[in-house]
Amino acid sequence: MIAKYYFLLMVKRTLCASVSFVLASWAMIAFASAQSKDETYVLRPNDTIMLAVYGEPDLSTSVQILKTGQASFPLIGSVKVGGLSVAQASATIRDLYAKDYLVDPKLTLSVGQYSTDFIAVIGAVKQPGQIPIPVSGNLDLGSAIATAGGLSPTADASSIQLVRSNGATSTYSLTSIQGSAGRTSLSSGDRIIVNESRFVGRSVTILGRVGKPGAVIFPIDGRLDLVTAIALAGGLSELANPKKVSINRRGTVTTVDFREISQRGDKPFFLEPNDIITVAERIF
């Protein structure tokens, strides 16, 4: 019985040791990967970097890189580190300390906080505002609009403007952004402007022998034909004369045969905002 207990105890200890070894190995790999990535990162203004000098706690510091690329360190003062990788900046600082102050200095330089660049998404989107560019620097047009919640119900899906920081402007449709144009890469200072549809709040007026005379609101895409508009107005009444439906467009009156248009179907009569449609009364 004692031998069996001892055997089980040894197996348990072996398994625990194996698991601990695997976890430690994973941790070391993750640390090495993170450290390697950190060393190749190119320092930018507004990054916060941390310096730790072995055996010299008074020299350890955390400092933000200025817009000029300079950062100030104890004893050696201001050092241009912007534009250097973490590894290059570390070597530069080590050389400066070794030159006048320390013998064979051992130090570690790391990024405490990365600076954040932004692009702006404004206009007819659900959540307009500034969107941070990831540290990787990869943010495309499709992702930015998705992050802003997508287009609002009043957006003009054919008029999405990308204004670059240098002023260059391109116009896209939502369909193109859902395709290859959505992979257009963005940079700090770029703006995305989603215009509102020019048909928002626009309407036509329908008078005469229809079920519900009055205003008919234009759809956002601007496509409203005569048959659809009259249907939205309750359709023709029993007293309507379908052969005499007139459209007043900025003072020019066109009379059409509504029955012919509705039966034909292949050539709709499209309306414009502020058109006035009058359905005449039938004469018995």
Dump pLDDT digits (tens) for 2-32.
Answer: 444 444 434 444 444 443 433 334 433 333 3
Q: Is there a single domain that holds both residue 122 and residue 108?
A: no
Give the global pTM.
0.62
Cβ atoms of residues 233 and 240 within 8 Å:
no
Residues 107 and 128 in one domain: no
Statement to judge: residues 125 and 191 lie in one domain: yes
103 and 168, same domain (yes or no)? no
Q: Which CATH number covers residue 185?
A: 3.10.560.10
Q: What per-residue confidence (pLDDT) applies to 3?
A: 46
Q: From CA 157, how far away is CA 173, in angstroms rounded?
A: 6
Length of the chain: 284
Last-in-domain residue among 196, 220, 236: 196
Q: Are residues 185 and 242 in the same domain?
A: no
User: Which of 273, 184, 182, 171 has its CA nearest to residue 220?
Assistant: 273
Please tell me the predicted confidence (pLDDT) of residue 180.
Answer: 94
Look at the chain and report how many structural domains it folds into: 4
Q: What is the pLDDT of residues 84-140, one digit of tens each?
A: 999 999 999 999 999 989 999 999 999 988 888 899 999 999 999 999 988 767 899
Residues 189 and 127 in one domain: yes
Q: Do residues 274 and 232 both lie within one domain?
A: yes
Residue 131 burial class via C-beta count within 10 angstroms: exposed 0-12, middle 13-18, buried 19 and up: buried
Boundary of a domain, candidates 133, 167, 196: 196
State the Cα–Cα distance between residues 251 and 246, nearest whole angstrom: 12
The confidence band for 284, taking pLDDT boundaries of 50, 70 and 90, is low
Do 136 and 184 fall within a single domain? yes
Residues 23 and 59 in one domain: no
Tell me the CATH number at 106.
3.30.1950.10
Range of the domain at 148: 117-196
Shared-domain flag, residues 178 and 221:
no
Rounded CA gap, 236 and 253, in Å? 20
Q: How far apart are CA 82 and CA 51, in angstroms?
A: 15
Q: Is the pLDDT of residue 245 over 50?
A: yes
**Do 257 and 238 share a domain, yes or no?**
yes
Give the end of a domain, one of 113, 140, 155: 113
CB atoms within 10 A of CB 119: 22
